[in-house]
Amino acid sequence: MTKDKIIIAVYVDNKFGVLSRVTAMFTRRGFNIDSLTVGETESPEYSRITITLSAGKTDKEQVVTQLRKLYNVKKVVVLSGEDCIKRELLLIKVKNSEENRPVILETANIFRAKVIDLGEEAISIEVTGDSQKIDGFIQNVRNYGIIEMCRTGIVALDRGSTSIWSYHED
């Protein structure tokens, strides 16, 4: 079965232990999460979890319907690939040297990345964008030596004036 990359936005009660209930469902049913982010929302009683995973049609339906059964889950929406804004943040520390510095800074410039910290031995850079852009940046600086990096995983919103609450669940 062909698998698509899907992004699922999940509104949950902003309460103790809810994240582990959500991730436990994925473990228990054998669905593999590619990335997961969680944070506050416009209303303090809810958190928004953004999950990306690769899944075929049946798995996608299972993930959504099983999530909806969880007591603390209030809304589940699959965000359609093209109509949504996806962003990820990368923090990366690259080895600094006199010969490499200009080209690293030039790369950062091309990717519209921000240099956050410049030391004798390392340059720390912040990059925001969709996952392909982040992958591209990492590819470009890999040869200069990556000391350490971390990426946040995707957060996503649909374009336009709608909110997750205006979706009909079916």
The residue ranges that bind other proteins (CB under 8 A) are: 16-17, 20-21, 24, 28, 58, 61-62, 65-66, 68-71
Shortest distance in whole angstroms from residue 162 CB to other proteins: 23
Of the pair 75, 87, the CB lying nearest other proteins is at 75
Token pair for residue 42? 């416009």
Of the pair 58, 139, the CB lying nearest other proteins is at 58
Shortest distance in whole angstroms from residue 103 CB to other proteins: 51
The residues, any chain, with a CB within 8 Å of residue 71's CB and separated by 6 or more, are none
Shortest distance in whole angstroms from residue 140 CB to other proteins: 44
Q: How far is CA 89 from CA 117, 146, 149, 152, 155, in A?
A: 16, 16, 11, 5, 9
Contact 94, 127 (CB under 8 A): no
Of the pair 44, 71, the CB lying nearest other proteins is at 71
Of the pair 70, 122, the CB lying nearest other proteins is at 70
Token pair for residue 89? 């943040």
Single out the residue of 44, 27, 45, 28 nearest to residue 36, CA to CA: 27
Shortest distance in whole angstroms from residue 28 CB to other proteins: 6
